[in-house]
Structure 1
Amino acid sequence: MTHPHPTHRDQATDTGATYVFAVCRGTRAVSTADVSGLAGMPGGAAVRLLLSGPLTAVVQTVPAADFTDEVWQARLSDRQEIEAYARAHHDVVSAAAAHGPAVPLPLATLYHDDDRARRALDDEAHRFHSVLKRIAHHAEWGVKVYESEAPAAPEEGEPVPAGRAGSEAPAPGAGLAYLNRRRGVRKRREQALSVAESVDAELRALAAASRRLRTHGVVPGGDGRVHVLNATYLVAEQRTAELAALVRALGERTGTRIELTGPWVPYSFVGEG
């Protein structure tokens, strides 16, 4: 759910830098939360709270030399390592969100020191308050819709198979079978996309906000599933049971496999002011 690219990074390499995981309201529940037991980023000090007026940031002092552009770009090429950093970031964000609404910041958001981090909170206070108001008592839910893959059809432009020698006439009915197969695949895809649109429309009517994400085509693993909808929805906590019931009903009504995942910290809905 995070995007592994550096943002707000100062280039000091001889001191510690302030890594910011998330921004929360400065409520009593947040200000008394004990986050010191969280692991945070490798090599960093204890995770802690940084108060700035009505806002509180969840931060950690980390070696600045570990987050220079050069080091981070090298880290991006190591999938296992970058996934470990992303998990560490997400674990802290999730812990913060357990105490109230939390705005997750992008992976590798650093400031030279606490004072600069506080100034950034002050500068963007209006946006943070707006986002916190929008996501309070809401969670993010993912929905994927699949169609079962039809028997493989010839690629676009592929000729109808000829006889064994390549010059003989096709077997009787081969051309008709080819066309029927093509029509069947096309019709199956059109129906699946129509179902995906109707599912999305009904879920959007229930959600406070939604986003369509990129689909991935045929799902790896050889089970024949084809991905036709990948979307995420911001749903009020009191409508969670209604969401689950709607997804079940849509699956039964359409005969389509619909996958519901969550609840998640609403990463997809914090980029708007």
Structure 2
Amino acid sequence: MTERGPEQISDANALYVFAVCKAPDPAVLAGLSGVAVDERLRRLRFDELTAIVQTVRAADFTDEVWQARMSDRDELERYARAHHEVVSAAAASCPTVPLPLATLYHGEKRARQALLGEAERFRAALERTADHSEWGVKVYAAEPSAPEPGPAPVPPPAARSRPAPGAGLAYLERRRGAQERRERRHEDVLRLAETVDAAFRNVAAAARRLRLHSPEPAGKGHVHVLNATYLVAEHRAAEFRALTRALRDTTGARIDISGPWVPYSFVGEVQ
């Protein structure tokens, strides 16, 4: 639960929560500024778990201010990087559940109460993701190089009264053939996505299919066919990378992977 609203006043403070951990090493927080340069990061204990928190000015996180910040790309990126830096440092020390960007509470007492209410969920997420990392996979299929045949050329006016025998049937056959080729390409794309996804799922502990990008990011000559993320045990990371290389060779597809990341996609949302 993120507490933000008009009741906040300019001289009030709020508590920003970055992540929940088992037993983070305090040394990993040294040198990190978080989202408030003038306030140190600290640990907040609850139910044998630890939250990484920082005191911030409530006025900097009201609905109005935060919405304005969300529309400023540079400012939003600065906060996202600071948030991720703290989460990554904690995750390098111990199993960690990252909380969403700008998770705030009206004071330490309210924060502890809210976090205690989610303690079971935190424990389950920590158990599920311990010694695992998240890997992103994007698969692109090559588009056909040969253009599809266009419609039959329109004859000059003088010839329209005497169409060639079978011209209409030939045109319909071309149209039917083009449609069949499109359907086959679509089936091939679906089969490619399912084949690659199934192979990665055999290595991963969990997986999530994500929305495909628009055609533009794929680059000219490629179409985006799979966007997925996988939870992979650390001892299987080398196997995951080797599988990527093998799938590139066997499918001919362009397969881009990213990671390892803190498993944001597999900890579940904390309300």
Shared fold by TM > 0.5? yes
List per-residue Cα deviations over 1:196-223 (Å, max 9, x = no partner): 1011112112211110000114143742
Does structure 1 residue 7 correspond to structure 2 residue 5?
no
Q: Percent identity?
A: 55
Higher mean Cα deviation, 79-88 or 160-169? 160-169
Point out where structure 2 has 5 or more consecutive residues left out of the alignment.
none
The amino acid that maps onto 1:138 is H
SS at structure 2 position matched to 1:248:
helix
The runs of 5 or more residues in structure 1 that have no matched partner are 1-5
Identify the residue that residue 118 of structure 1 maps to in structure 2: 112
Question: In the alignment, what sits opposite 1:238?
Answer: 235
Where does residue 49 of structure 1 map in the other structure? 43
Task: Give yes or no for the alignment of 1:250 onto 2:247.
Answer: yes
- Note if contact 2:28-2:89 (Cα within 8 Å) is conserved in structure 1: no
The structure with more radius of gyration: 2
Larger mean CA deviation between 183-192 and 15-24 belongs to: 183-192
Once the two structures are TM-superposed, the CA of residue 83 in structure 1 deviates from its matched residue by 2.1
Report the CA distance between 1:115 and its aligned residue: 1.7
1:269 paired with 2:266, answer yes
User: Could you tell me which of 171, 186, 189 is aligned with 1:189?
Assistant: 186
- Please, what TM-score do these two structures have when normalized by structure 2? 0.85
Distance 1:163 1:94, change over 3 A: same
Verify: 1:134 aligned to 2:128, yes or no. Answer: yes
TM-score (norm 1): 0.84
How far has the Cα of 1:252 moved from its partner? 1.2
> 1:59-118: CA deviations, max 9, x gaps?
111110011011112222222322222122111111111101110111110011112111
SS of residue in 2 equivalent to 1:220:
helix
Distance 1:135 1:167 in 2: 75
Question: Displacement, 1:34?
Answer: 3.9
Point out the more displaced range, 32-41 or 188-197: 32-41
**Residue 96 of structure 1, aligned match among 81, 90, 94:** 90
SS in 2 for 1:127: helix
On the 8 A contact 2:28/2:93 being kept in 1, the answer is no
How many angstroms apart in 2 are the aligned matches of 1:113 and 1:164? 80
Amino acid in the other structure paired with 1:75: R
